Amino acid sequence: MPTEVALLESRALRVEQMGRVDALDKVKSLVMLPDGVHVRTEDVARYFEVSTEVVKKVTQRHRAEMEENGLTLLRGPDLRIFHRDMMSLWGGGEGGSYPQAATQLTLYTRRTVLNVAMLLRDSDIARCVRTYLLDAEQDLRAGYASLEHRVTRVESCLAGVGAALQELGPVLGRMSHRLDSLDRRLEVTQQVVGAMSVRLGSVSEDIGRLDGRMDELVRHLKDLSHRNRNR
């Protein structure tokens, strides 16, 4: 895990933390200009509770890095347009109270202010921001480690399942063979039952014919008995 000194000294480590602008408001509220995007040098100094000269020196030493993170210097027409927009956003009669720079204005975004927090040594607020970043990263790494451990456990369980499935394969094969044999036996049984049903149908017809003949024989015997009495 990186230390506070490493964060102060390594630009690569600072780049990794540039998306964590939420750390600023976690430590202290950062008051933005009316556009909600920019702050001035004096606003940055007020946030970190240092002088504007301290902020200017840090900015000068690391200007290229800060420009990559939103640092802007306005002059001439760009400055006039920005002032006009800010006064419009400030609204109504309060517009005249908006402070304006005479010839140039340095603007910082939240990313730039976070960049200053990772470079400013003599500020308790900056140290708190760095501590928050490092603690959050430690918690994140711990979460990743826990997740990795859980994934490893799942993988080991899956390995056991794979071995069990390999052992179960032959058993399933034998069961499948027995079920196929049972299916064939059921088919033969159905054929036998079908044949027996046909035979029983034929026997029923024979019994019906036999009943008819027995009835006819009974009638003949009755007729014969009647003729014998008449004689």
What digits encode the pLDDT tens for the residues 145-176?
A: 445 555 556 666 666 666 666 777 777 778 77
Tell me the pLDDT of the chain averaged across its residues. 82
More confident residue, 155 or 126: 126
- pTM (2 decimals)? 0.58
**pLDDT at residue number 151:** 56
**pLDDT at residue number 94:** 47
- Among residues of the chain, what percentage have pLDDT more than 70? 80
More confident residue, 89 or 74: 74
Banded model confidence at residue 32, pLDDT cuts 50, 70, 90: very high
Take residue 95 and report the two structure tokens written for it: 């517009």
* In the predicted structure, residue 36 carries a pLDDT above the cut 80: yes
Q: 77-107, pLDDT tens digit by residue?
A: 999 999 898 888 876 544 445 566 678 999 9
Overall average pLDDT of the 122-127 stretch: 94
| Cα–Cα nearest to 74, from 116, 124, 46, 35 | 35
**pLDDT at residue number 215:** 75
* In the predicted structure, residue 124 carries a pLDDT above the cut 90: yes
Banded model confidence at residue 141, pLDDT cuts 50, 70, 90: low
